[in-house]
């Protein structure tokens, strides 16, 4: 069987966590209230509804804010420590970079 040019690339899918839940986790980190390992147990402790925990964790992984072991990445630390004035633009740039294929289709 001959390989197609797309066979080596994993298709990127857009995260599907509710924006408010994702922003809650980012806000926790900006307030220095997020542990270095983001566990489902921690998120369920009043921050994210139980049924939404997996989508939030997956979205954080997709955005490279946590790694595959759920540890906070340097990129997430950087996002957490930018000024309030810089934060919206940096978050917007992160989303556009990670979901560039989506933005390319709508522009």
Among 6-15, 37-46, 76-85, 86-95, name the one with the lowest average pLDDT.
Answer: 6-15
CB-neighbour burial class of residue 11 (10 A; exposed 0-12, middle 13-18, buried 19+): exposed
Say whether pLDDT at 3 is over 80.
Answer: no
pTM given for the model: 0.80
């Amino acid at each position: 069987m001959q390989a197609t040019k797309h066979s080596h690339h994993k298709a990127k899918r857009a995260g599907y966590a509710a924006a408010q839940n994702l922003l809650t986790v980012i806000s926790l980190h900006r307030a220095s209230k997020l542990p270095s390992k983001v566990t489902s147990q921690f998120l369920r402790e009043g921050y994210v509804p139980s049924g939404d925990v997996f989508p939030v964790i997956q979205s954080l992984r997709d955005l490279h804010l946590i790694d595959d072991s759920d540890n906070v990445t340097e990129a997430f630390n950087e996002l957490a420590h930018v000024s309030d004035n810089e934060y919206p633009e940096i978050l917007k740039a992160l989303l556009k970079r990670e979901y560039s294929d989506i933005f390319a289709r709508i522009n």
